[in-house]
Homo-oligomer: A and B are copies of this chain.
Amino acid sequence: MTAELAERQIGPGAGRERLRATALDLFTERGVSATSLQMIADAMGVTKAAVYHHYKSKDEIVLAVVRPALEQLMGLVRLAESRRSRAAQVETMIVGLADLIIANRRLYALLQGDPTCTAILQRYPEFPTLGERLVALLAGPDPDPGSVVAAGMLLAGLRGAGSDPRVMVLDDEEFRRYVVGCAHRLMRPRRPASATG
């Protein structure tokens, strides 16, 4: 019995964890707004009331699903901001973002792309202006527009990096190398305004 508790995570808190996993599946597949608590309950094989026993509103479910990745992202931002050189800041961000997307391949799309998720995060502002700090770390202070475009493309693009079946099959190490390689090429400094053809 105790072995089963440890092995299969049955016990106090296990229901919440299974709920978060189920909700994440549906949120990433259909979007937060298009996912009802009834769907979550059905996917778990319980009733809506059982879902409400764990979290007292849909917003709280979204927050609980998103929070771990969000805190990892905040930690990365703080780490990168502590680097002294610009090059080290960018490098820290690139490898940190790659690690984050590997650890939460599907969740990142929610944070980056789901408007309902973003709206909820703004309504519970435990996590302040994160997007601006991300761009600032990648593009630098008072950046030229080209760097801002590149940073925006990187942050949005990570969402699509692992979506192809040919990529999902890769192991983490290999996937990570490709993502970091793409990010390096994208963020590589260019000459501000000269003839390049």
Binding site for B on A (CB under 8 A): 29-31, 33-34, 109, 112-116, 119, 135, 143, 145-146, 148-164, 166-167, 170, 174-175, 178-179, 181-182, 185-186, 188, 190
Q: Which of chain B's residues have a CB closer than 8 A to the CB of A190?
A: 181
Give the chain B neighbours of A170 by CB distance below 8 A. 145
Copies assembled: 2
> CB within 8 A of A185: which of B175, B178, B185?
B185
- Is B179's CB under 8 angstroms from A149's CB? yes
Q: Which residue in B33, B115, B145 is a CB contact (below 8 Å) of A29?
A: B115
B-side contacts of A153, CB under 8 Å:
153-154, 157-158, 160-161, 179, 182, 186
Bound: A186/B180 CA distance, A: 11
A39 to B179, CA, bound (A): 40
Name A30's contact: one of B34, B112, B119, B150 (CB within 8 Å).
Answer: B119
Chain B: minimal CB distance from A29 (Å): 7
Tell me the bound Cα distance from A118 to B99 in angstroms.
28
B116 lies within 8 A of A113 (CB): no
Among B31, B155, B157, the residue within 8 A (CB) of A33 is B31
> B114, B116, B119, B156: which contacts A157 (Cβ < 8 A)?
B156
In whole angstroms, what is the CA distance A160 to B150 when docked?
A: 9
Q: Is the CB of B157 within 8 A of A162?
A: no
Verify A161–B152 contact, CB threshold 8 A.
yes
**Interchain CA distance A181-B185 in the complex, whole Å:** 11
Establish whether residues A146 and B34, one from each chain, have CB atoms under 8 Å apart when the complex forms. Answer: no
Contact A160 B152 (CB under 8 A): yes
A174–B132 Cα gap in the complex (Å)? 22
Distance in angstroms between the alpha carbons of A163 and B151 in the assembled complex: 11
Q: Which residues of B contact A33 (CB under 8 A)?
A: 30-31, 33-34, 116
Complex: A149 Cα to B177 Cα, angstroms: 10
B116 close to A34 (CB less than 8 A): yes
